[in-house]
Structure 1
Amino acid sequence: MAIFHWLVIQGGVPVKEVLSYRRCLRPGSDDKCGWCGIHVESIDHLFLHCSWSHHIWSALFNWWNVSWIIPSSMLEFSSDWINGMGIKAANFWSLIGPVTIWAIWLARNELVFNGVYSCWAATVSRIKLKVFNGSLTRKSVRVINFICGAFNLGV
């Protein structure tokens, strides 16, 4: 996921806009976002500005009671969440960004290549589970205690 995150920031992910620029799409091919069908599928649109992705980010920010304004680019956004978004569990939050980007990409590929539409709410649930599992892998007691508090598990 770290390499994929780096590719996103560098603009190297093969979204339709990038493929069109590299002339990998036939002239006249549809370059619109598979989720909204309105805007060109660019990296910033797919991961931040599409209404489908926006629902995911909003749900995750609401989960942490964090107010936010959508930045103009993935580079800006990455800088914010690498710095912890100003919340107590910066280490935990640093997992959410890459996991979310990866989950959006996998859901996008399911839609593009298999015609399978993923519900954004189900994607959020998968993200939360993967982040929780990632935090367990890191064996971070402070993060686990914070999570338990967030879920009112009373550890």
Structure 2
Amino acid sequence: MAYQLLSNEAQDAIATGASSSRLHQWDHVPDSTWNRIWAIKTLPKIKSFIWRACAQGIASGEGLHSRQVPIDPSCCRCGTEKESVDHILLGCSFAHLVWFGSSLSYSPLSDHIPLLHEWLGSWDALFRSNKKLARESFSRASFLCWYLWLAINDLVFNVKIWTPQEVITVAEKAYVDSLQLIQGIINRM
């Protein structure tokens, strides 16, 4: 009898689509964006980082504050906005300097900072027009995201201040090194 009751409740939950009353950030991310993340030619740890960043699974001032951690949710670098993952990687004035100064010369619109998953989805047009350039640029962008993240963590935990040029230089070197590593593996096969 108890099994039947539980079974019926489970079937009712499936029929009504009720798995959780809470809507998650990743519910808004299209499958094509998830597929693109896993197809990036980058290090596995960076793929994982970008995936978690899109799912809002990376610790940020805003996220910690919403979980009742007693901290100031403001960006510790610029102090003008709440520190969200999207702000750290795309919206902060420091991130703007990194993106614009990089070989990608990206400059987000000042009136609307996209969510990371929206920004990743906006690469569709480039992928349709020039897949080779898109793959290379997307890979470079993944390294910039990773080093923007490392730079904010260094500021918070080690009180080490990176310049935008340092982030660009280290990210570019890591990108080139990873390409050489991949090419070396291919050549040995």
Q: TM-score range by the shorter chain?
A: 0.7 to 0.9
SS of 1:104 mapped into structure 2: helix
Could you tell me the TM-score, scaled by structure 1's length? 0.76
Q: Is the 8 A contact 1:8 1:74 kept in 2?
A: yes
Structure 2: runs of 5 or more not aligned: 1-45, 185-189
8 Å contact from structure 2 (residues 65, 72) kept in 1: no
Root-mean-square deviation (CA), in Å?
2.3
Q: Is the 8 A contact 1:13 1:43 kept in 2?
A: yes
**Once superposed, which parts of structure 1, at least 4 consecutive aligned residues long, lie more than 6 Å away?**
none
Instruction: Sort the Cα spacing of 1:67 and 1:11 in 2 relative to 1 into closer, same or farther, 3 A.
Output: closer
Q: What aligned pairs does 1:118-137 form with structure 2 within 5 A after superposition? A: 118-137=162-181
User: Which residue matches 1:151?
Assistant: none
Q: Deviations over 1:7-37 (max 9, x none)?
A: 01111110011111112x21xx321111101
* Counterpart in the other structure of 2:75: 33
1:125, distance to aligned residue in structure 2 (A): 0.6
Matched residues, number: 134
Mark the CA change 1:109 to 1:69 in structure 2 (over 3 Å): closer, same or farther.
Answer: closer
2:128 maps to 1:93 = no
In structure 1, what is the Cα distance between the partners aligned to 2:96 and 2:133?
A: 22
Q: How does the TM-score come out when normalised to structure 2?
A: 0.63
Tell me which structure has the larger Cα radius of gyration. 2
The structural deviation recorded for 1:82 is 7.2
Percent of pairs with identical residues? 24
